[in-house]
Amino acid sequence: MATVQRPVAVFLRCLLCVGALLGQFSAEAKEGKLVITGSSTMAPLVLEMGKRFESLHPGTRIDVQTGGSSRGIADAVNGLADIGMASRALQSQEGNLHGFVIAYDGITIILHDSNPIQELTDDQIKGIYSGIITNWKTVGGLDAPITVVNKAEGRSTLALFLHYFTLSNRDIKAHVVIGDNEQGIKTVAGNPHAIGYVSIGTARYDATYGVPIRLLPLRNIPATLETVREGTFPLSRPLTLVTKTEPTGLANTFIEFARSPATHDLILQHYFVPLAD
């Protein structure tokens, strides 16, 4: 009998231990875990901020997941996330949400480095993207067909681009549709006659590391981190943390931390632009 009971007792004891452990985890989850979801532009930055925050506040856990600005806002509304990330300003119908800008990002038009074009007007860019201008010759460049690189549906970069140039996605005659910024940069870097648009941060980073792309100025304003910070670059966007209600407790502490100068070095590392103060 004893030989039979022994394993059972051991098993029960194990079960108890596991139960106790689980209980501890769930208690901790209530106290010190923040779920942040949303913009893939913001996720790498917020992840770094989260790591630093965790080391400053032992016992806390910041869980960052991507999925796009739309998901960030939806998750914040549904309560699936404590904080949403949106790489755009809140729209008017989202007025009941609370938004906190942590940094700025700009969208830049990029060309291959060997393309002689130094500047394009807004109308020319609009013409190229809507398929009216199909050869670089028309805008003073080489006699070569233009390859138009567009973003996939649902991306906030696409939404901001369309909004600025007052285009609808159905007007755009694209030759390549890309997912993330890096794929866009690789596509333009591999095609001397391509035009695309990506985050200034990513483009500046790659251009300084020798990727053959050139960032075009917009309305005579160069696409640099400085002009985005000053707010003079026309095609820029705020990176926003979103909560459903006025943030309290850990969420509030984290948002204050993200907006403080303590994270400016991280923001610069990711080629975004910190807040002015």
Partner 1 sequence: MAGGILLLVVAFLILESWPAFQDIGPARFFTDQDWYPTERLYLLTPMLWGTLWATLGSIVLAAPLGILSAIFCHYYAPPLLATWYRRLIELLAGIPSVVYGFWGLVVLVPVIGQLHPPGPSLLAGILVLFLMILPTIMLVAHASFAKVPLSYIHSAMALGLGRWAMIRNVLLPTARAGLFTGILLGIARALGETMAILMVCGNVVQTPSNLFDPIRTLTANIALEMAYALGDHRSALFVSGLLLMGMVVVFVVMAEGLQYRKLDDTAR
CB contact at 8 A, 102 and 258: yes
Residue 141 carries which side chain, given as an amino acid letter? G
Cβ count near 165 (within 10 Å): 17
Least separation in angstroms between residue 203's CB and partner 1 is 17
Residue 64 tokens read as 């960052």
Residues 6+ apart with CB under 8 A from 80: 35, 37, 74
Residue 193 binds partner 1 (CB under 8 A): yes
Which of 124, 130, 169, 269 binds partner 1 (CB under 8 A)? It is 169
Smaller CB separation from partner 1, 83 or 185: 185
Residue 175 binds partner 1 (CB under 8 A): yes
Residue 167 binds partner 1 (CB under 8 A): no
Residue 206 tokens read as 């790659």
Report the distance separating Cα 273 and Cα 271, nearest Å: 7
Which of 145, 222, 231, 249 binds partner 1 (CB under 8 A)? It is 145
Which of 23, 144, 219, 222 binds partner 1 (CB under 8 A)? It is 144
Smaller CB separation from partner 1, 146 or 251: 146
CB contact at 8 A, 252 and 259: no
Counting beta carbons within 10 angstroms of the beta carbon of residue 246, is it exposed (0 to 12), middle (13 to 18) or buried (19 or more)? Answer: exposed
Residue 111 binds partner 1 (CB under 8 A): no
Residue 132 binds partner 1 (CB under 8 A): no
* The one segment of 12-20, 102-110, 151-159, 204-212 that binds partner 1 by CB under 8 A: 151-159
Three-state secondary-structure class, residue 101: strand
Which of 81, 86, 120, 178 binds partner 1 (CB under 8 A)? It is 178
Which of 35, 40, 110, 273 binds partner 1 (CB under 8 A)? It is 40
Q: Which of residues 197-226 bind partner 1 (CB under 8 A)?
A: none
Which of 60, 62, 71, 125 binds partner 1 (CB under 8 A)? It is 71
Residue 120 tokens read as 């394009």
Cβ count near 28 (within 10 Å): 13
Residue 79 binds partner 1 (CB under 8 A): no
Cβ count near 100 (within 10 Å): 17
Residue ranges binding partner 1 (CB under 8 A): 40, 66-68, 70-71, 74, 144-145, 147, 152-155, 168-170, 174-179, 183, 186-187, 190-191, 193-194
